[in-house]
């Protein structure tokens, strides 16, 4: 028996949030095993096909998830819906007399017939909060593909990123319960709340001292904020922090859903703000807008762990894929 067999198997069908991962401590143990033994489970994926479907652009998610599948011995197909595929209609009841020749309700089961596991990346559109927060596209794949489905970032969550973030914090933390601060930072575009929502969910579950800081008007959905302390005074939030996680997001609350309410450059993470911390590590999911989200000095400093954080995306994806394969 392989060394991983000593770890209890949690049967996973789909992976869309922290609620699908099982016991968090056990998940971290499994991730540690995967990181130390990346090629130990290639028989699990032998003769199985992983299909990665992208409705939005990607660098880390595409490469890390493809690498994870290959590490597990899987064949990998990557489909960019916006390049080379038919435009897809996603609404039922629509008279399809426009520029979308194929309906997603036919496309999904067809794609499902070509593979064993499906990963989907589909961002919030900011046209309807209800449509985004109901995760319509992701749930259509779960309902109609007939195959296990995992999220590579959806409208409301990015669980593979958050799992990698947790793995990274566990590797770098210097005390059992570090202070982790999620800070809003300016960006020229309106970005979804998926990363901060998901990060908040995982940090709450980890039991860290967790603070969210942002300008007024950028409050996240309470279901994700959970037990976090919301602090509008960023200097107070940064004080004695062990990890600073920067991210932009657009407004969630109506009537401003999906809007940019501030471009205040004082929220850019710089050396002065990092000096308030307990020599904190800087984290960001990438890609990052330098000198908007964070200054060159901070992201290039010894306390920046954005590259190890990104490398752990392979680990989080492989751990999840392995659990899905074990549950098949």
Domain ranges within the chain, ordered by starting residue: 3-157+313-326, 161-310
Q: Which two tokens stand for residue 122?
A: 């589909």
The mean pLDDT of 69-83, rounded to a whole number, is 94
Q: List pLDDT tens digits, range 118-139.
A: 999 999 999 999 999 999 999 9
Residue 83 has pLDDT above 90, yes or no: no
The mean pLDDT of 258-286, rounded to a whole number, is 98
CATH topology of domain 161-310: Rossmann fold (3.40.50)
C-alpha span between 186 and 266 (Å, rounded): 9
Structure confidence at residue 84 (pLDDT): 75
CATH topology of domain 3-157+313-326: Rossmann fold (3.40.50)
C-alpha span between 173 and 167 (Å, rounded): 10
Residue 29: which of 21, 20, 39 has the closest Cα?
21
Q: List pLDDT tens digits, range 32-46.
A: 999 999 999 999 999
Mean pLDDT of the chain: 94
Q: Which two tokens stand for residue 215?
A: 């300008």
Phi, psi of 49 (to 5 degrees): -115, 130
Residue 1 has pLDDT above 60, yes or no: no
Structure confidence at residue 9 (pLDDT): 52
Q: Do domains 3-157+313-326 and 161-310 have the same CATH topology?
A: yes
The string of DSSP letters for 275-303 reads: TTSSSPEEE--S---BTTTB-HHHHTSTT
Helices 104-113 and 136-144, axial angle in degrees (round to 10):
50
Q: List pLDDT tens digits, range 176-227.
A: 999 999 999 999 999 999 999 999 999 999 999 999 999 999 999 999 999 9
3-state DSSP percent of the chain in helix, strand and coil, to 5 = 40, 15, 45
């Amino acid at each position: 028996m392989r060394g991983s067999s000593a770890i209890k198997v949690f049967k996973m069908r789909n992976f869309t949030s922290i609620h699908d991962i099982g016991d968090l401590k056990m998940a971290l143990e499994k991730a540690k095993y995967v990181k130390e033994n990346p090629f130990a489970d290639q028989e699990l994926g032998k003769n199985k096909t992983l299909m990665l479907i992208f409705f939005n652009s990607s660098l880390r998610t595409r490469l890390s998830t493809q690498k994870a599948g290959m590490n597990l011995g899987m064949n990998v197909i990557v489909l960019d819906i916006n390049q080379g595929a038919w435009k897809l209609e996603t609404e039922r009841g629509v008279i399809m007399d426009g520029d979308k020749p194929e309906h997603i309700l036919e496309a999904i089961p067809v794609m499902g017939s070509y593979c064993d596991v499906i990963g989907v990346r589909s961002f919030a559109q900011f046209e309807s909060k209800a449509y985004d927060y109901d995760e319509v596209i992701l749930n259509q794949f779960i309902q109609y593909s007939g195959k296990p489905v995992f999220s590579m970032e959806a409208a409301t969550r990015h669980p593979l990123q958050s799992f990698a973030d947790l793995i990274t914090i566990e590797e770098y933390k210097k005390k059992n319960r570090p202070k982790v601060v999620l800070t809003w930072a300016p960006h020229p575009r309106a970005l979804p709340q998926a990363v901060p929502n998901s990060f908040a969910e995982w940090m709450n579950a980890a039991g860290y001292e967790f603070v969210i800081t942002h300008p007024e008007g950028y409050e996240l959905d309470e279901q994700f904020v959970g037990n976090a302390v919301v602090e509008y005074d960023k200097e107070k939030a940064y004080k004695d922090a062990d990890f600073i996680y920067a991210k932009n997001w657009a407004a969630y609350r109506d009537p401003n859903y999906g809007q940019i309410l501030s471009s205040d450059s004082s929220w850019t993470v710089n050396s002065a703000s990092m000096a308030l911390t307990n020599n904190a590590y800087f984290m960001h999911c990438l890609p990052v807008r330098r000198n908007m989200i964070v200054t060159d000095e901070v992201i290039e400093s010894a306390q920046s762990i954005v590259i190890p954080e990104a490398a752990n995306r392979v680990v989080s994806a492989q751990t999840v894929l392995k659990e899905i394969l074990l549950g098949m």
